[in-house]
Amino acid sequence: MTSLAQEKQAGKSSEGESLASDRYSRQILFPGIGAPGQRKLAAARIAIVGCGATGSALAGLLARAGVGTIRIIDRDYVEPSNLQRQSLFDEKDAAESLPKAIAAARKISAFNSQIVVEPKVDDLVPANIEALLEGMSLILDGTDNFETRYLINDYAVDRKLPWIYSAAVGSYAVTLNVLPGQTACLACIFPDSPRGMVETCETSGILNSAVNLVASIAATEALKLLVGGPGAPQLRRTLLSFDVWTNEHAEISAAKPRPGCRACGERDFIHLAGEGRPHITLCGRNSVQIHECQRPIDFAEMDRRLQSHGVVRHNDFVLKFWHDPYEMTLFPDGRAIIKGTTDTAVARSLYARYVGS
């Protein structure tokens, strides 16, 4: 390298360091982080599973805080009903039905180009969890169902990897730090999935303030963990819940694993093994996901085939097909979301009829 080129490179490096110093200057002033903590954040690699309301708020907060690598894993696409509470998306994203992981990565790169964002348009399942979470130092929950949370819990406990459970519905928010070997895991607190009537965003609605509360708490716990490690004394060791409308709140101790816990006690990882894994009805809409058929989809060819059966449009990421009263969103790997039914038999029939079995 010539001396002139070396000078230019040095200048670029100096400018980058100056920008980083300015960007995080107020955070570095906070004694809990400081310059050493900011360097740890820059070196951190985290995964956010689910980029809906909570996940997008978590991604925005931690990207602005300077977490060096953020992997965003989400199976879904942006639609207008998301915009009330999902902070990384806009009307253009909804009009184009962009996958949430892609839209989130674009927004983050626009306000912080110094970090790495890895969008993964995929459904986290036992078959791909190792590949999708490999190399991560922390997992954050932005999902909308207990099946995926139990899967994350099994994986994290098995790998001794910390993760943070978060949920919000109506005006209620709840979060838990899971530090394998130190605290209770999700299966310690909730041995079984909730049964009977379960509140969802579709049935009970959701306040964006409840989302932002739980995301702020979880993001702060993530910063504590990334800066101080899983042994940091500031980390909360309780299941914390708060209702922003009624002001009711509670904390349940999660300081120790529950004796005889299936996951962290007996190490029986049934969800990681994929036992009895059902179709998942997505939160916020009357729909079923079809994900058994792994096949590459040629959108141009599929568009041509479906033209005579309904309305079709596609971009590089999704193909949308409307055949009244159903709406199908098809992804490049063959996965589909069928809107207009919660009957898996109906959804499978529509998929077989128009895509193939």
Q: Is residue 26 part of a domain?
A: no
Token pair, residue 261, equals: 């816990």
Q: Is residue 190 part of a domain?
A: yes
Q: Looking at the structure, tell me whether residues 303 and 245 fall in a common domain.
A: no
Distance from C-alpha of 64 to C-alpha of 72, rounded to nearest angstrom: 15
> Total structural domains in the chain?
2
Q: Is residue 260 part of a domain?
A: no
Q: Looking at the structure, tell me whether residues 246 and 298 fall in a common domain.
A: no
| pLDDT given at position 65 | 98
Q: Is residue 271 part of a domain?
A: no
Q: What is the pLDDT along the chain (357 residues), one digit of tens a residue?
A: 545 545 545 554 455 555 567 999 999 999 999 999 999 999 999 999 999 999 999 999 999 999 999 999 998 899 998 899 999 999 999 999 999 999 999 999 999 999 999 999 998 989 899 999 999 999 999 998 888 999 999 999 999 999 999 999 999 999 999 999 999 999 999 998 765 445 667 657 899 999 999 999 999 999 999 999 999 999 999 999 999 999 999 999 999 999 999 999 999 999 999 875 655 666 657 888 887 666 788 999 999 989 989 999 999 999 999 999 999 999 998 889 999 988 887 888 888 888 875
Q: Is residue 19 part of a domain?
A: no
Distance from C-alpha of 141 to C-alpha of 173, rounded to nearest angstrom: 13
Closest C-alpha to 101, from 80, 85, 131, 122: 122
Q: Looking at the structure, tell me whether residues 309 and 207 fall in a common domain.
A: no
Q: Is residue 167 part of a domain?
A: yes
We report the CATH number of the domain holding residue 303 as 3.30.310
Q: CA Rg, the chain, in Å?
A: 22
Closest C-alpha to 279, from 269, 291, 270, 271: 291
Q: Looking at the structure, tell me whether residues 223 and 310 fall in a common domain.
A: no
Q: Looking at the structure, tell me whether residues 244 and 145 fall in a common domain.
A: yes
Exposure string (b/e) for 128-150, b if CB count within 10 Å is 16 or more?
Answer: ebeebbeebbbbbbbbbbbbbbb
Q: Looking at the structure, tell me whether residues 223 and 329 fall in a common domain.
A: no
Question: Which of 233, 253, 273 is the last residue in one of the domains?
Answer: 253
Catalytic residue chosen out of the listed positions 51, 188, 201, 264: 201
Q: Looking at the structure, tell me whether residues 242 and 315 fall in a common domain.
A: no
Can you state the percent helix, strand and coil of the chain, rounding each to 5?
40, 20, 40
| pLDDT given at position 13 | 47
Q: Looking at the structure, tell me whether residues 181 and 312 fall in a common domain.
A: no
Q: How many CA atoms lie within 13 A of 136 on its CB side?
A: 28
Q: Is residue 37 part of a domain?
A: no
Question: Which of 210, 236, 253 is the last residue in one of the domains?
Answer: 253
Phi, psi of 336 (to 5 degrees): -140, 150
Q: Looking at the structure, tell me whether residues 172 and 120 fall in a common domain.
A: yes
Active site residue 201: yes
Q: Is residue 38 part of a domain?
A: no
Question: Which of 227, 253, 279 is the last residue in one of the domains?
Answer: 253
We report the CATH number of the domain holding residue 133 as 3.40.50.720
Q: Looking at the structure, tell me whether residues 342 and 243 fall in a common domain.
A: no
Q: Which residues contact 187 (CB under 8 A, 6 or more apart)?
A: 150, 153, 261, 262, 263, 264
Q: Looking at the structure, tell me whether residues 107 and 224 fall in a common domain.
A: yes
Q: Looking at the structure, tell me whether residues 80 and 218 fall in a common domain.
A: yes
For 294, the domain range is: 287-354
